[in-house]
A and B are shown apart, each in its own frame.
Chain A
Amino acid sequence: MIQFINVTKEYENGLRALNNVNLIVERGEFVFIVGASGAGKSTLIKLLLKEIEPTAGALFVNDRDLTQMKPKEIPFYRRSMGVVFQDFRLLPDKTVFENVAFAMEIVEASRKEIRRQVPAVLSMVGLASKANNYPSQLSGGEQQRAALARALVNNPSILLADEPTGNLDSATASEIMKILNMINHRGTTVLMATHARDIVDSMKKRVITFHKGTIVSDKEKGEYFFED
């Protein structure tokens, strides 16, 4: 499903954020990407979103070679991925419903589909009652639920989460983790970059640890690996 073959990413300033990474993630897996700040976690996610290009190596997602993908195909490729970030990235002048519907408008869904699908996904993340609230009227956890609903509404096969609990307290964070776990049980592959050691340790999922751009540990049902 996701395969990195000798992937190296060097930024324009010569900084090597990922160094010769080899990695396979199977369909339906739940994987934590951990490592100190600057280890290359976000770089890995950006590569998967095709926001940046690898300097060397090959990168496959759903049997498609990302390095060979034409620019025109990128939007359609991205529709197979959902993504959430630490800072939620909701549109402040749209309600929760509109923020989620926005993702469906972009893929030109019909109004009927939108009216059916948005409430369904909002109740899945437990936000049905706040559909008409604006992001400023929501708590951090609720905002992340809204962002999750937006990421999931087009039924992606892969969910990428870059520190989704970074701005949340631990109780709220574990609520979000429950939702991610449920989504994973429904068959979506989840890749989550995080610093949150307690979360990683409690979930008993696969943990891949990066250090300065290389994988230093990859464990099934692993725990937060620390090197110093």
Chain B
Amino acid sequence: MKIRTWKRMVRQGFLNVFRNRIMSLASISAIAAALFVLGLVMAVVMNINNIVSSLESKVEITVFLKDNTSKADIDNIEQQINSWDGISECQFISKHQALNKWREEWGDKKYLLDGYHESNNPLPDSFQITAIKPEFVEGIVEKANSIQAVEKVQYSKDVVDSITSIASTTRIFGLSIVGILIAMAMVIINNTIRLSVYSRRREINIMKYIGATDWYIRWPFLMEGMLLGLFGAVLSSGLVAAVYSLLEKRMGGPSIENNLLSLFQLLPLDAILYQIAVLFILIGSIVGTIASLLSMRKHLQV
């Protein structure tokens, strides 16, 4: 088709959206709702992936010792650890030091720990190990676990595993909701196009007599479906951006001292919005176009 004809098709598509505004609004809301949920799922998953990769680059390992391990054994273990490959630092933290550190961390709430004394200190002795590189972590953990006096070895992998499982649950659950919502949006767009075809049936009939090709008749409706999807994509991108920046404010600025909380630092909005918006526009226009094609196959006999 010639360029002026394409322009006509686009204009006609916009015109169809506008003429059919109630149904258009319903279609746009439906596709926006589906994409919004998708955006939330993506935001959660992207943040989790970010946490996971920052955890995977962590080189700290904590080795907890069984209660009543003798001083001699502790020295022995420390020597052993220092002889392993990839150890950058190995520091012993006695149960006494651990309790003090805990008090420090809790700051003005430390009175809550007043009930704990040397005699009933619940914390074990431990070694705080730092590996040279993340690749050494697994090997160190394995060796530490084989030591008799070791009660438990804690390192980022545990957290990574549980977070990863949260991510995959979110993904499966979220994406099935998205699938259902997209199917609903398709039904609504399908109906919108059906009504649009119906309201232009006289014109279509005349076009056929005059010798319009099938695609000349179809294109405005395809454009209409595509535009509905695009508008839905723009709307939902805006919604995701709004909700996300609100969440960002709630979670506080980037300067949280607490180590654990800083793991849950949200990715900045602009780091995720671009990807989300591009995907929305793609999915929106594809869903709109497909819904329109399906509708025409049923309701537009050309």
Say whether A and B bind each other: yes
Taken residue by residue from 182 to 219, chain B's Cβ proximity to chain A (1 for < 8 Å, 0 otherwise) reads as 00000000000000000000110111111111101000
> Which stretch (A28-36, A101-109, A208-216) binds chain B?
A101-109
Q: Would you give the shortest CB distance from A33 to chain B, in whole angstroms? A: 18
Is the beta-carbon distance between B208 and A91 smaller than 8 angstroms? no
Task: List CB contacts (< 8 Å) of A40-80 with chain B.
Answer: 49, 72, 75-79
Q: Would you give the shortest CB distance from A153 to chain B, in whole angstroms? A: 9
Q: How far does the alpha carbon of A76 sit from the alpha carbon of B4 in the complex, in Å?
A: 19
Contact A75/B214 with A89-B206, A91-B206, A106-B207 known, Cβ cut-off 8 Å: yes
Q: Which residue of A lies closest to B213 (CB)?
A: A75
Q: Could you say which residues of chain A place their CB within 8 Å of the CB of B208?
A: 75, 78
Q: Residue B5 at the A interface, CB < 8 A?
A: yes
Q: Residue B2 at the A interface, CB < 8 A?
A: yes
Is the beta-carbon distance between A75 and B206 smaller than 8 angstroms? no
Q: Could you say which residues of chain A place their CB within 8 Å of the CB of B205?
A: 89
Q: Would you give the shortest CB distance from A192 to chain B, in whole angstroms? A: 16
Q: Residue A83 at the B interface, CB < 8 A?
A: yes
Is the beta-carbon distance between A108 and B211 smaller than 8 angstroms? no
Q: Residue A111 at the B interface, CB < 8 A?
A: yes
Q: How far does the alpha carbon of A103 sit from the alpha carbon of B2 in the complex, in Å?
A: 16
Task: Name A79's contact: one of B4, B8, B210 (CB within 8 Å).
Answer: B210
Is the beta-carbon distance between A78 and B206 smaller than 8 angstroms? no
Contact A78/B210 with A89-B202, A91-B202, A91-B203 known, Cβ cut-off 8 Å: yes
Q: Residue A129 at the B interface, CB < 8 A?
A: no
Q: Would you give the shortest CB distance from A110 to chain B, in whole angstroms? A: 7
Is the beta-carbon distance between A108 and B1 smaller than 8 angstroms? yes
Q: Would you give the shortest CB distance from B142 to chain A, in whole angstroms? A: 70
Contacts beyond the supplied A107-B211, A154-B211: 18 A-B pairs with Cβ under 8 Å:
A49-B209, A72-B213, A75-B208, A76-B211, A78-B210, A78-B211, A79-B211, A89-B202, A89-B205, A89-B206, A89-B209, A91-B202, A91-B203, A103-B210, A105-B8, A106-B207, A107-B210, A110-B4
